[in-house]
Structure 1
Amino acid sequence: MLIAVTGGTGFLGTHTAAALLRRGHRVRLLARDPATVPSTVDVVAGDVTDPAAARRLVAGADALLHAAGIYTFDSRRRDELWRVNVRGTEVVLAAARRAGTGRIVHVSTVGALYPTTAPSIGVSSPLGASREPYLASKAAAERIARQHRSAGAPIAVTYPPALLGPDDPHLGDQNARLRAVLRGLTPIWPGRGLPVGDVRDSAELHARLLDGEVSGAAFFGPGHFLSTREYLATVRAATGRALPAVFLPPRALYPVGRFADLLQRGWPWALPVQYGAIHVCATAVPVAADAPTGGVPARPVGETVRDTVAWLHATGRITVRQAGAAVRSTSDVSRRPAVPTGPGPGTGQTEEVLS
């Protein structure tokens, strides 16, 4: 099959494209810079907000993965979030529907369902009404996808958790946040918790959906719900480091997060404290036990953290001391990404998906 992909130069997109290629499919990526795309895939030059580029992308394609989106809590990028996440979804899904694309997967996020008064989220959960810019943009984008699905478009929506893992082309928000923890930049933590998953597991879910192995209207990326204490304990176990921390009620940290967002507007480097990340910890709830994951089991979170830490060290983003035991216990982490990596160590770039 020919499978069109937006966001194929980002974290989840590169892993999904690699999984599709391993299955023998042809992959066509939409990319703003074709020079960054390997010769193993077709490429259409353009941006998700360009209707002409979107039409070229889906022409003759059997399926579409719409994974393009900006994943960041950086307060300086509100307009970009709306332009790419919302307008890009309008353009791409409209093009696919007009082209009669037979199978479409729209990548949302569990955060699009926050906040909620329910104890867990599942396929019947309503969209959240958060005013946090990233979460609001993803909820608005999913609303567009649901409208197309209601009109008959063959759209499945996926809800990845916070994704960690190796081979991150642009050091996206979640891996950058783990890097900050290892560098000792986050000694104060909000309480409550967050869903965590491995990018390789969500990529496998997408490959199964696009391959037609599973079908349905909504799927959740495999993962685990961890309290922030459990998350930090996992990092401590993976590295053998103490990583001292203080835990406070998340809402008590809201003023700190808002102040950091204001400071960030005039500060040239990414700050490790963001209101959006605190807000997610304050509002997150577990995924329901019976929520569909396409039959993909979630690998142990300790394995994911170890592989991610080892990759951060292998790419020069953290030191041996910061990686600790993870660089001694992990021997099989991929050293060659599926597509060329983006900016080098220490860029602080937080775009998860760029196309």
Structure 2
Amino acid sequence: MLVTVTGGTGFVGVHSVAAVVRAGHRVRVLARDPGLLGPALGPLDVPPGAVDVVAGDVTDEVAVAAAVRGADAVLHAASVYSFDSRRRAEMRAVNERGTEVVLTAARRAVPGPIVHVSTVAALFPAKEIGMESPVGRPRETYMATKAAAERVARRHQADGAPVVITYPPALLGPHDPKLGDQTSRVRDVLRGLMPIWPLGGFPAGDVRDTAELHASLFTAPPATPARFFAPSHYLTTREYLAALREVTGRPLPAVHLPARAMFPVGRLADLAQRVWPWHIPAEYGALYTCACATRVATHADTRGLAPRPFTRTVTDTVRWLRDAGHLTGRQAGAVGQAPSLVAVR
């Protein structure tokens, strides 16, 4: 099977490409910068030449049509995942319009499956999220654009297209090519930049588990349009920090405050970020997530995949951050004394 992948140079995309190749499929990646693909795939033991690349953007109808032409299936993983207020226009273009362009082109050219990578955040706020959850109406730009993309995907499902939707949680793991939001947060905590935390929590998981879910959808495609949740754990922010303390052996002192009480700080940080050139770790989107996130229902379909232990995920993330030079050995704590990370799957 030839699988076209969008977002193949990003965190979810690159791990999914590796998992799909390991499952025996051919892959074609649509990438804005094809030169990023080789360095991103190199640490994941993807053989040279196993992946073709088409240059283009998901908002470019001509490039998307070329990328899906002749393919048997599509994995639409392209997305801007950020709580950085400076990227609002980019999120709306890529997350909303890009999804419409890709799914429309895929329906015309591909027999299926057409996998749209959504997020649990597209269903927030809710008391519990599961297979029948309605699309959320979150009051935060990233989540709102992913909710809009979710509506696009569900419309195509309702029309009978072979669209499959997956819901990854907040993801960690090794080999993050663009040092995304979640990986950066771990780095910032271990650099001592986040002494104040909101109460609440969020579903979290390992990018490699999400990648295995995606690979399974091409090896054994569902018979009808469907929705699947990537394996995850629900963690309070206290539990999240406890895992970091456990694997690093560092005290990591922190003060916890009610998330909603911190909203004004997050709003002010977002305003300041528009003129301040360096990233400010206090983000309204992260506070909003902790205030409204909820658990994934126990009956939600993960295709039988179980999440790996979160401490293992954190260990591999911190070790990779050290190996990649984003943390010093001292900042990585006990993990900093461990052998370097080779290929971890």
Q: TM-score range by the shorter chain?
A: over 0.9
The residue that corresponds to 1:231 in the other structure is 240
Equivalence map 1:80-119=2 (5 Å): 80-116=90-126, 118=127
> Shift of the alpha carbon at 1:101?
3.0
Contact 1:129/1:136 (<8 A) preserved: yes
Per the alignment, residue 311 of structure 2 pairs with 302
The answer to whether the 8 Å contact 1:314/1:335 transfers is no
Q: Which residue of 1 aligns with 2:134?
A: 126
CA offset digits 1:21-67 (Å, max 9, x no partner): 11221100001122223333111111000111111111111110000
Whether the 8 Å contact between 2:113 and 2:162 is mirrored in structure 1 is: yes
Give, in whole Å, the separation in 2 of the partners of 1:142 and 1:321.
42
> Which consecutive unaligned segments of at least 5 residues does structure 1 have?
339-355
Partner of 2:180: 172
Q: Does 1:68 align with 2:70?
A: no
Amino acid at match of 1:251: R
1:4 counterpart SS class: strand
> Contact 1:208–1:214 at 8 Å: present in 2 too?
no
For 1:281, give the aligned amino acid.
C
Hey, what does 1:18 align to over in structure 2?
Answer: 18
1:282 correspondence with 2:321:
no
Aligned to 2:163: 155
Q: Which residue identity lines up with residue 158 of structure 1 in the other structure?
A: T
1:57 aligns with 2:73: no
Kept in 2, the 8 Å contact 1:105–1:210? The answer is no
| Displacement of 1:326 | 1.5
Identity of counterpart residues, as a percentage? Answer: 60
Q: How does 1:236-255 map to 2 (within 5 A)?
A: 236-255=245-264
Q: For 1:268, what is the secondary structure of its paired residue?
A: coil
Aligned residues: 334
- Cα deviation per residue 1:261-305 (whole Å; 9 max; x = unaligned)? 011001001111100000000000010011111111100000000
Measured after TM superposition, the shift of residue 212 of structure 1 is: 1.8
Report the AA paired with residue 284 of structure 2.
Answer: Y
Q: Which amino acid aligns with 1:287?
A: V
Paired with 1:283 and 1:54, the residues of 2 have a C-alpha distance of 35
CA RMSD of superposed structures (Å): 1.4
User: 2:139, 2:333 → 1: CA distance?
Assistant: 38
2:279 match = 270
Q: Of the two structures, which has the highest relative contact order with CA contacts closer than 8 Å and spacing of 6 or more?
A: 1
Structure 2 regions of 5+ residues with no counterpart? Answer: 39-48
8 Å contact from structure 1 (residues 250, 282) kept in 2? yes
Paired with 1:34 and 1:194, the residues of 2 have a C-alpha distance of 34
Partner of 2:43: none
Q: Which residue of 1 aligns with 2:342?
A: 334
The alpha carbon displacement at 1:335 in A equals: 5.5
Q: Work out whether residues 190 and 249 of structure 1, in 8 Å CA contact, stay in contact via their aligned partners in 2.
A: yes
1:321 aligns to 2:321 (yes or no): no
Give the Cα–Cα distance (whole angstroms) in 2 for the partners of residues 328 and 121 of structure 1.
Answer: 39
The structure-2 alpha-carbon separation of the partners of 1:332 and 1:103, relative to structure 1 and needing over 3 Å to count, comes to farther
Q: Which residue of 1 aligns with 2:199?
A: 191
Describe how 1:213-232 pairs up with structure 2 within 5 A: 217-232=226-241
The answer as to whether partners of 2:323 and 2:341 remain within 8 angstroms in 1 is no
Deviation at 1:328, TM superposition (A): 3.2
Q: Specify the code of the residue in structure 2 equivalent to 1:319.
A: T
Deviation (angstroms), 1:211: 1.7
Residue of structure 1 equivalent to 2:41: none
For 2:310 and 2:33, locate their aligned partners in 1 and report how far apart those are by CA, in whole Å.
34
Question: AA paired with 1:304?
Answer: T
